[in-house]
Structure 1
Amino acid sequence: MIETTTWKHNFTNYDNLENINKTGHQHLEIFQPLAGHKIRLQLNNLYDESPLKIDHLEIYNNSTDKKAVTFNQQTSFEIEPRLLEWSDWIDLEMNGNSFLSIDIASPNETIHTLGLTISNTLIKTEDTTPQAAKYFFGVSAIQVQTEQEYKRIAFFGDSLTNQGNYSGPLAYDLETKFGCMTANYGLSGNRILHPGHSTSQWSTSFGEAGFTRFDHMIADFQPNIVIFMEGVNDLLHPGTGSPISELPNAYALIKAVFSLKKKCKKHDITFVPMTITPPKGNINGGVDGWSEQKETIRLTVNHELLKMPHIIDVANLVGTNGRLKPEFDCGDHVHFSATGGKLVAKFVEEQLIRKRMI
């Protein structure tokens, strides 16, 4: 049997958030594309200094078929600080293309090791308010046992990927229509060239530089295809919380993206980069985040990226005159709306088909 990851979502360190688990209970519903008989959960406590205590953890397709998830054969357990662990394999009859429910009871009120989603396409929390940030803890990946290999597609990027407004609908289609397994390696605030280094209260959650984080993704998920959308924060953050001296020139960004392509080639991975989308009009920390200098860098980088063999020109789809078009803009002039994200997902899917990658 083959251990197949059917869902994966990047966690990071939200050390500025307190009492995220006030009720002591969390309910999640996570889309599962594959039918199966055995399942296990990745339990994540990478960024906390105290154990994540689990009083009880249950998974089920319906409320009459609940199964207790165990760790080292215990139904009540702790995940030690700075660790990722896998639960024991659990016998569960799973239906393909359906949502799996997960209930976690934990006495930890403050948990900093968290995932974030806005889209409800692949993961639903108890709060399903559209365009609201939803944080969740404990489970960051799911594996099932299968008899065959499936193509693996990783979404790598910043908040445009992490929030799921484009990556969620696209992942859903790739899984249900084409039998691909996907993972979301988006990280809000992430930059290619610099780690989180800002006066922003969210600075720690921005994570390590995408250039080195990329290596962890390859080793962890071993994707066949990487869909890459990153670079806007490298331009947006300097001068709006990060030092303006960290504003890269176009050559540095171009070199970095081409280097990521070389890393993929070394591992026989197809690298699918996106052009950098425009954020003109964004206010970041009370400061105008854009300038003519930054726009010139963005256009220069995109001009060179368009020479890459699998490039997808999302910037031209969503932007005009350096701004997001209204139908794509969630309102902050950087991030996609739910409607805009679906349009991007459809466009990218069409490009993947046309380029015969799926």
Structure 2
Amino acid sequence: MNPTPRTIAALTFMTLAAPALAESWTPTWMASPQPVWSDTTVFATGLPERIAGATIRQPLTLGFPAERLRLVLSNVHGTHPLPVEAVTVAHSTGAADIGASRTVLFGGNTGTVIAPGAQAVSDPVALSAAAGARIAVTLTYGPDALAEDFHWDARETSYLIEADMPAPVVRAEVPARLSLSMVLSDRPARQVVIAMGDSITDGNGAPMDAMARWPDFLAHALAGEGIAVVNAGISGNRLLSDGMGRSVLARLEPDALAVPGTDTLVLLIGTNDIAWPGTLFAPGEEPMSLSRLQAGLMQVAARTHAQGMRLILGTVPPFAGALPETPMEATYWSPEKDALRRELNDWLRRADFHEGLVDFDRLLSAPGDDMRLNPAHDSGDHLHPGAEGNRTMARAVAETLMKGLEE
């Protein structure tokens, strides 16, 4: 049967309208979304009281070069539409100050309304930047905007400002990320690495505004090799249960498997699964078991490998004496919890379901006392490594990653 002239015309239009080649984009920065909590008796969110009509500027450091960028805004934990009236991006010149800004569009429009549970990806915007360059994204929210989706303790200061200007009046400093969840680069990468985990990966012990988390050091070390590294850590994260964000098993898909171009997942998790039961965070929770942790990690491996990705795991570092002079000190660590940590680490060292193991336990332990962090690596709270500990972790991860690529 011969096609009609109308069919031929329709097919011709479809061919002309379709793009000649789909573009690929590389993640160059990330902040995994969390739901905003209402109970601030233990941890304040750090967010402004209201974001309706507010303008918030968020400086950040790109881990991979770009000629053009796309921004990803998140409302995945929102229960209401999130109106964003305007977005701009510019090179950061320090604190809340910026250079000349570019307007960011969404489907050709200057604003967007993000549906509950959804994300919005911007149109490409021209902004040439090297790996390690500082940029700033400025969002102006609509009059009905509610803060339901954020990233806590970003180790980077954002700013509530009077208006989107190069040198604005700063109303307040905000130690969190709001709505902005990813920045994409148009430059192709040799490999894309997602670093996932809890507050050790999120960088809780690192100094503010210092880019001294272990994924920061890793990104800096590997950008010259054509490898992009982004940080998908969440403070309080657990493998099996929700904490200050969804569990690793629940967020594995959006925060790792679905991230454009991802080749390798580096996962350090387990401290909070072991430590939280019996504390103020989970007072009635049963103690964790090795079998449950094993089953959870095997599921991570199965799902990662089903995507054709590599999985690199880390052993759980020691944390005896953690969180001194806090209400958590008496219950966060115990000999029983430390015994489980050791069992898990020994099992990981013998396991063959991953493509590499970084032994953070042995790397960070104090000489002669492997229940505690080495003082040279300790941020001071006996739980989170400081900048030097993070630098040591990044070197070990880089060695494991590069060895895997060479094999």
Length-normalised TM-score, structure 2 = 0.75
Q: Partner of 2:356: helix, strand, or coil?
A: coil
- Alignment of structure 1 residues 243-282 onto 2, 5 Å: 243=283, 245-282=285-322
2:189 matches 1:143:
no
Q: Deviations over 1:19-56 (max 9, x none)?
A: 25679222222323555443221111222333333232
Q: Distance in 1 between matches of 2:151 and 2:128?
A: 24
Report the Cα offset of residue 58 of structure 1. Answer: 0.9
- Could you tell me which of 215, 230, 236 is aligned with 1:167? 215
2:148 matches 1:112:
yes
Please tell me the residue identity of whatever aligns with 2:249.
Answer: F
Structure-2 change in CA distance of 1:119 and 1:345 (3 Å):
farther
Report the Cα offset of residue 323 of structure 1. Answer: 1.2
Q: Partner of 1:304: helix, strand, or coil?
A: helix
Report the Cα offset of residue 356 of structure 1. Answer: 4.3
Q: Deviations over 1:208-240 (max 9, x none)?
A: 332232233343115211111000101110000
- Could you tell me which of 239, 245, 252 is aligned with 2:278? 239
Residue of structure 2 equivalent to 1:12 = 34
CA RMSD of aligned residues (A): 2.8
Q: Contact conserved, 1:281 with 1:333, CA < 8 A, in 2?
A: yes
Q: Contact conserved, 1:328 with 1:337, CA < 8 A, in 2?
A: yes
Q: Distance in 2 between matches of 1:216 and 1:246?
A: 29
Q: Contact conserved, 1:51 with 1:78, CA < 8 A, in 2?
A: yes
Listed as ranges, the gaps of 5+ residues in structure 2 are: 1-22, 39-44, 93-97, 161-172, 204-211
Q: Distance in 2 between matches of 1:59 and 1:315?
A: 40
Q: Deviations over 1:274-330 (max 9, x none)?
A: 001111112474442111111111111101101235111011111233111212222
Q: Distance in 2 between matches of 1:192 and 1:267?
A: 19
Residue of structure 2 equivalent to 1:189 = 236
Residue of structure 2 equivalent to 1:228 = 267
2:342 matches 1:296:
no
- Could you tell me which of 48, 52, 56 is aligned with 2:78? 48
Q: Which of 1 and 2 has greater Rg? A: 2
Q: Contact conserved, 1:117 with 1:133, CA < 8 A, in 2?
A: no
Q: Distance in 2 between matches of 1:107 and 1:15?
A: 21
Corresponding residue pairs, total: 339
Q: Deviations over 1:35-86 (max 9, x none)?
A: 5443221111222333333232111237553211122322244323322111
Q: Distance in 2 between matches of 1:33 and 1:165?
A: 12
Q: Contact conserved, 1:118 with 1:133, CA < 8 A, in 2?
A: no
Q: Partner of 1:101: helix, strand, or coil?
A: strand
Q: Partner of 1:73: helix, strand, or coil?
A: coil
Please tell me the residue identity of whatever aligns with 1:168.
Answer: D
Report the Cα offset of residue 152 of structure 1. Answer: 0.9
Listed as ranges, the gaps of 5+ residues in structure 1 are: 197-205
Please tell me the residue identity of whatever aligns with 1:294.
Answer: K
Q: Partner of 2:196: helix, strand, or coil?
A: strand
Residue of structure 2 equivalent to 1:178 = 225
Structure-2 change in CA distance of 1:357 and 1:277 (3 Å):
farther
Q: Partner of 2:293: helix, strand, or coil?
A: helix
